[in-house]
Structures are given as C-alpha cells and as structure tokens.
Amino acid sequence: MLEGSVQKAENKLRTNARLIDALSGRHLWAGRVDRTTSEIFAVQDEITKSVLTELQVELTMGDNARVRSRELFEAAYEADPAWTRPLAASTLTHWFEAKQGWSPSRSESARPGIDFAKRTIELDSNDSLGPPVLGNMYFLIDQPERGIELQRRAIELTPNDFGVVAGMAMRIKDFGQEREAIELFGHAMRLSPKHPWWVPFGYGLALHLVGNKEEAVQAYLKTIAHKLTTPGMTLILPI
C-alpha cells in the first residue's frame, strides 16, 4: 500500500511517500521529494521509479524469495492452470535442485524444470517469465547457445526488467560475451540502484575477463561493502 502527503508553501512542494506491507503493517520504504509547483510531473516520475525499485527488490527478491515452496507453486498452478508465474517458479525450484546437486542426477532434475518452463511459454508466448527460466535450464545441461537465445528473447519482451537484464549478463559473461555482459550489468545497475551483491560481483568478473583489472577491483570492493551492509541479501541469486 502506498500512502503519503503533500505540503505546499508558495511555489514549493514537499511530497512524502511511504510503501507499506498491507498485511503486516511493516514499512518497506519512505521517501521525500522537494520540487517547485512547475515540476509536478517530475515528482510523479521520481516517486514512481522509487516505488517500482522497492517493489522489485523488497517483494520479488526479498521476502518472496524466502517463502518459495515447490508444493505451493504446484498448488497455485492447479488452482489456476492459465497462470504462468507458478509454472515459472516451479522451474526455478528444479534449477536450484540441479544446480546445487541435491539429486543424484542433474539431467533428471532438469527434465521436469524444462517441462514446466516450456508450458509457461506455451501458455503465453509474450510473457517474459518463460524464456529466461527455460534458458537457465539449458545452461545447466550444457546447451548455452539455446540458453542465450532464450535470454535474448526475454530482453526483447522486457528490456527494462532488472532481473532479466542482470540474469542474462550473469550468464553470457561465461560464454565469451564479456563486453556485452558489462553493458548489461551497467544497464541493470541503473535500473535498480538497490541491486543485490551478485550484480557488482558479476560485473567485476566480466571486467576482469576483458582485462580491466582496476575497475574489476572497484566492483569487488563494492560487492564486499554491499554484503557487509546488507547481510540479508546474501542468499539472493540470479534466476
């Protein structure tokens, strides 16, 4: 829930805004914007950008990440078979299982995840959820060309989605496309200034791979500082 107030003195405006979890009452974000009355649309744009950033980081990547459950995602899909999000999220659980080696066979873990991702795309070919999760599964089974193709498709669908842009950058840096990865990491950090630690870390790796060692060191230092100041973000990984 977004709430706030506006104060006016002569030709000056002070806008206060707060983003609140409607269920728990917990404050997620608070901000203040000072402008003149002639800049009212700039105020609106600034608040909108800040709120969207907070929603993406706090909800999509924060609390929501801690309550992921394969059974709940499957139940959500059974309740609404036309809903793509639980299918994409189920793919992610299989990705983690295969990536972390929690099953005897990586290929066996990947197979149901690939099926879930393909069904996501079949349900809605214009939804940006399906291509990146399917692409990640192909990276796991050593088919990077197919994975990169799907990541590019996701960016075509949502070029300003932080997760999609940063996720592709993280993947392609390992397959000879470091310079493009550097550009994508830069774009991702502009999209979400409150990004998790793995973004400057991946950025540093890409810089190191192209020989920009001094810049890479600065990126690594930012990673260390970020992890020290935001310990709750340390488990967040790109999907």
Adjacent-strand bridge partners of 6? 15
Domain co-membership, 177 together with 138: no
Q: Does any domain span residue 72?
A: no
Q: Does any domain span residue 71?
A: no
Average pLDDT over residues 142-151: 92
CB 42 within 8 A of CB 32: no
Sheet holding 2-9, edge to edge: 2-9, 12-20, 27-36
Domain co-membership, 139 together with 197: no
Going by the DSSP 8-state scheme, the letter that residue 112 receives in this structure is H
Q: How many domains does the chain have?
A: 3
Domain co-membership, 177 together with 237: yes
Q: Does any domain span residue 70?
A: no
Among 141-155, 192-206, 223-237, which is the least confidently predicted range?
223-237
pLDDT over 80 at 230, yes or no: no
Average pLDDT over residues 187-208: 92
pLDDT of 238 reads 44
Domain co-membership, 87 together with 140: yes
- The label of the residue with tokens 């409607």 reads 22
pLDDT of 60 reads 45
- Rounded CA separation 59/26 (Å): 12
- Rounded CA separation 237/100 (Å): 12
- Mean pLDDT of the chain, nearest integer: 80
Domain co-membership, 104 together with 149: yes
Residues 14-53 pLDDT 10s: 877 777 766 666 666 677 777 787 776 676 666 666 665 5
> Which residues constitute the domain of residue 166?
161-239
Looking at 139, 158, 177, the residue that finishes a domain is 158
Residues 104-134 pLDDT 10s: 788 888 888 899 899 999 988 888 888 999 9
